[in-house]
Amino acid sequence: MPTMEEVDSRRDEVTPTDLASFWRRLAGLVIDILVLGPMTLLVAWAAPEGAPLAIAVGLALAVQLAYFILLIGRFGRTLGAYVMEIRIVRADDAEMTPGYGRATVRQLVPLAAGLVPYVGRLVTALVYFWMLWDPMKQGLHDKAARTIVIESPRPRRGVPPDSDR
């Protein structure tokens, strides 16, 4: 595991203009919610008849966690991130996807924050809104997982990668 000095020295490779904005990240999350909504409803609906509500909620949560962990861990992006042309990468190496371990930490931090009695929603909001004043635009979940979110335009068909079009 790299030391904090190594991470800090490699952060110089990513400039603030490479980092994804709050609004782009929020739009990607909204797209993911629109994708997950129907899937979550189908899974909850498929729960055995007469099963406790907790089972349906647990299945729905499992689908959501699997969506984020598998896509971010393997590809560094969800469908919403793909559409918004952003990518989650390791803070110590912006060329590498986070992997499943970091993707799991990234998803469990806001989930755990929501479990704080009485103020869970406020703490969860803090996890995400932290990026508004952080120089690396990292939420607390990004810091815990040692990830950053960068802009990552998709290649355009018929346009060479170095073209100005």
Taking the domains of the chain in order of start, what are their residue ranges? 17-150
What local confidence, expressed as pLDDT, does residue 6 receive? 53
The residue ranking higher by pLDDT, 6 or 103, is: 103
As beta bridge partners, residue 107 has none
Distance CA(53)–CA(109), nearest Å, equals 24
Place of tokens 């598998």: 70
Query: 22 or 46, which is more confident?
Result: 22
- Residue 52's pLDDT is 81
* H or E element that contains 28: helix 22-45
SS3 21: coil
In angstroms, the CA 92 to CA 94 distance is: 7
Q: Phi and psi dihedrals of 21, rounded to 5? A: -75, 160
pLDDT tens per residue across span 83-122: 999 999 999 998 999 999 999 999 999 999 999 989 999 9
pLDDT (0 to 100) of residue 32:
97
pLDDT classification of 57: cutoffs 50, 70, 90: confident
Q: What is d(CA 147, CA 141) in angstroms, rounded to the nearest whole number?
A: 8
Q: Is 70 exceeded by the pLDDT of residue 161?
A: no
Beta bridge partner(s), residue 88? 149
Res 153: pLDDT: 86
| In the chain, % of residues over pLDDT 70 | 86
- Between 162 and 23, the higher pLDDT residue: 23
Q: What is the pLDDT of residues 117-149, one digit of tens each?
A: 899 999 999 999 999 999 999 999 999 999 999
The tokens for 130 are: 């932290």
pTM of structure:
0.81
Provide the pLDDT for residue 5: 59
For tokens 């991130």, the residue is 81
